[in-house]
Amino acid sequence: MPVPSVEQLNEDILRPLVRTSWRYYLAVGILGSIVLAAVAAFLHQVYSGIGVSGLNEPVFWGFYITNFVFWIGISHAGTLISAILRLTHAEWRRPVTRCAEAITVFALMIGAAFPIIHLGRPYLFFWLLPYPSERGIWPNFHSPLIWDAFAITTYLTGSTIFLYLPTIPDFALLRDKAKGWRRRLYRPLSLGWTGTPRQWHRLEMAMRIMAVVILPVAVSVHTIVSWDFAMPPVPMWHSTAFGPYFVAGAIFSGIAALIIAMAFLRKAFHLEEYLTPFHFDKLGKLLLLMSLIWAYFIVAERLTIWYGNDSPEMAVYWSSSQGRFTHLFWFMVFCNLLVPFSILSIKRFRTITGTVIASTTVVIGMWIERFLIIVPSLERKYLPYTWGSYRPSWVEITITAGTFAAMALLYMLFSKFVPIISIWEMKLGMRQEANSPQPIPVETRLPQIVAETNFPASGS
């Protein structure tokens, strides 16, 4: 990796914060309109009743819960990957962590909105929270939805801190470089950071603790989301494998989202020198691994059900293998296994374009996977007389489209105010490199204990 100068680094990374092209405004305008349309659709639903969706008896959950699980899954990109990479001191993580962590926070915010969007009486969502009401009413701690409420708020808090902590030195840098309103914005955000060794030490300690703590939280969040399904006796939901299956799926889709985000940032903000084919190759391999793990879970799940031949479960099984969901099922397999496997297992194809194509199909495939977990089971629950079918309405489609737009929009706005690559971490990496007797090839950089190195003064 060619090592750019510190000035070059500052210039490159800070460029998007100060220069805005008309294309940016256009994109924000389009995304904003889609988000507004989704908000309008939601308000329409609140006003008229959730009947404006396609939900019915007995398919009580549809697009909204699919989106919920999907976005919570996507959120695993960031914090989880970044924490793992930090804990293993993978040097190549440096340009990647910030944009990964941001995905987590935004995806979680969007995902967490869905349990509220899908409520029959969304204005009462706070009844799910254990606040001290004067009537002495507490939520039902037996309900996985309450576990969700806890898990998601914990994860959201944790990953926001996890994103925020390593941004403090960069905020300080911005504070020092900026003038006017920006200065006023970054001053409080930098929390009085001056780069004293004490501050560095505390930041380092906090990051280490957070990296350790956030991992089990991330795993538990998706496990608990899976328990929303696995706990009640619904055919093909009620499965012990759902915890690891969902976590694996989450990481799978999270990596895919990260790859797409990185490729987008690289192009949009001309970060070619920082986000290199090397990173995409690494993440591509990870994606391939997750694809195989995902396929393993699918086979394990479906084979055991087929072999067990329990009639209520078989009804759901056949509905996705030979019934109305066959095409969707095989398309999912195509997206999640065939495409990533054929692209990523061949080194020549594991390019930026290759990984982005694979990631795109994985994101699509994983959305479908969530849909196929939720809807076919509800359509074919036990008594055949009550079997039904589900078709989303324009309201659900609009809101779903709105969340994708919201994700992109949040990301774009974020990149206007926060350096999307951690400047100080990059510098630290460069310093280490400069201090070493001979240049270290990126691939062979040894893990080092950061605490033992000299800390750079902020902004220098």
Partner 1 sequence: MDRRNFLKIAAVSSAAAALDGCGKPENHLIRFIPEEELIPGVAQRKPGVCTQCPAGCGIQVRVMEGEAEVTRHGQVGLLSMGLAKKLEGNPDHPVNRGKLCAWGQAGLQVTYHPDRIRFPLRRSGPRGSGEYQEISWDEAIKDLSSHLSSLKSPGKASPVAFLTKPLHDHCGVLIEQFLAALGAPPAVKFEFFEQTVLRRANELSFGHHQLPTFDLANSNYVMSFGADFLGTWNSPVSQNLGYGTMRQGRPGLRGKFVQVEARMSQTGANADEWINAKPGTEGLLALGLAHVILSEKLRPAEAAGEAGARIEDWSKGLPDYAPEAVSKLTGVEASRIQRLAREMAAHAPAVAIIGGASLAQTNGLANALAANALNALLGSVEKPGGVFFTPQPPIPGLAARKEGASVRELCGGILAKSTPVEALLIYNANPVFASPSEWRVREALEKVPFIASFGSFVDETSILSDLILPDHSYLESWVDNIPESGTTQAVASLAPPAMNPLHHTRAMPDVLLDVAHQLGGDVGKALPWKTYGDMLQAAFDPLRSHPGSTSAKTADDFWSEVQDKGGWWSAGITKSPAMRAANPSIAPVKVSAPQFDGAAQEYPFNFLPYASQQFLDGSLAHLPWLQEMPDVVSTAMWGTWIEINPQTAERLGIQQGDLVEVASQHGKLQAPALLSPGIAPEVIAMPVGQGHEHYGRYASERGANPIKILAAQVEPQTGALAWSATRVKVKPTGQKGKLILLGGGLRESPREFHHR
Partner 2 sequence: MKRQWGMVIDLDRCTGCEACVAACHAENNIATVGDDQAAKGRTMHWIRVERYWEGEFPDVRLRYQPVFCQQCADAPCESVCPVYATYHNPEGLNAQVYNRCVGTRYCGNACPYNVRFFNFFNPVWDKPLNLQFNPDVSVRSVGIMEKCTFCIQRIKTAEIKALAEKRELKDGEFNPACVQSCPANAMVFGDLDDPQSEVARLAQSNRATKLLEGVGTEPNVICLRSVS
Give contact residues for partner 2 (rule: CB under 8 A): 48-51, 54-61, 115, 118-122, 124-125, 127-128, 137, 139-140, 142-146, 149, 228, 231-234, 378, 381-386, 388-389
Q: Is 129 in the site for ligand MGD (CB under 6 A)?
A: no
Judge whether 288 and 337 are in contact, CB under 8 Å: no
Judge whether 86 and 204 are in contact, CB under 8 Å: no
CA distance 254 to 76: 5
CA distance 419 to 30: 23
The one of partner 1, ligand MGD, partner 2, none whose footprint includes residue 244, by CB under 5 to 8 A per kind, is none
Convert residues 109-128 into a mask of x (bound to ligand MGD by CB under 6 A) and - (unbound). ------------------x-
* Secondary structure letter of residue 419 according to DSSP: -
* Binding residue for partner 1, selected from 334, 382, 414, 417, defined by CB under 8 A: 382
137 or 299: CB nearest ligand MGD: 137
Stretch that binds partner 1, among 64-72, 188-196, 205-213, 385-393 (CB under 8 A): 385-393
Pick the closest to residue 160 from 368, 380, 410, 381 (CA basis).
410
137 or 212: CB nearest ligand MGD: 137
Judge whether 168 and 203 are in contact, CB under 8 Å: yes
The one of ligand MGD, partner 2, partner 1, none whose footprint includes residue 93, by CB under 5 to 8 A per kind, is none
Q: Is 78 in the site for partner 1 (CB under 8 A)?
A: no
Shortest reach from residue 46's CB to ligand MGD, in Å:
16
20 or 133: CB nearest partner 1: 133
The one of partner 1, partner 2, ligand MGD, none whose footprint includes residue 120, by CB under 5 to 8 A per kind, is partner 2
Please, what is the angle between helix 78-87 and helix 97-117, to 10°? 150
Between residue 113 and residue 142, which ones bind partner 1 under the rule CB under 8 A? 130, 135-138, 140-142
Pure H helices in 49-89: 63-74, 78-87
32 or 144: CB nearest partner 1: 144
CB neighbour burial string for 160-196, b if at least 16 within 10 angstroms, e if fewer: bebbbbbbbbbbbbbbeebeeeeeeebbebbeebebe
CA distance 151 to 157: 10
Q: Is 306 in the site for ligand MGD (CB under 6 A)?
A: no
CB atoms within 10 A of CB 132: 8
45 or 190: CB nearest partner 2: 45
Q: What is the dihedral of CA 319, 321, 324, 330, to 10 degrees?
A: 140
The one of ligand MGD, partner 2, partner 1, none whose footprint includes residue 136, by CB under 5 to 8 A per kind, is partner 1
Judge whether 422 and 429 are in contact, CB under 8 Å: no
425 exposure class (CB count in 10 Å sphere: 0-12, 13-18, 19+): buried
Q: Is 133 in the site for ligand MGD (CB under 6 A)?
A: yes
The one of partner 1, partner 2, ligand MGD, none whose footprint includes residue 58, by CB under 5 to 8 A per kind, is partner 2
138 or 278: CB nearest ligand MGD: 138
Q: Residue written as tokens 């060794």?
A: 197
230 or 257: CB nearest partner 2: 230
CA distance 216 to 205: 18
CA distance 137 to 150: 17
Shortest reach from residue 143's CB to partner 1, in Å:
9
Q: Is 318 in the site for partner 1 (CB under 8 A)?
A: no
233 or 437: CB nearest partner 2: 233
* Binding residue for ligand MGD, selected from 18, 137, 205, 209, defined by CB under 6 A: 137
CB neighbour burial string for 300-319, b if at least 16 within 10 angstroms, e if fewer: ebeeebeeeeeebbbbbbeb
Which positions touch ligand MGD (CB under 6 A)?
A: 127, 133, 137
Which positions touch partner 1 (CB under 8 A)?
A: 130, 135-138, 140-142, 310-312, 382-388
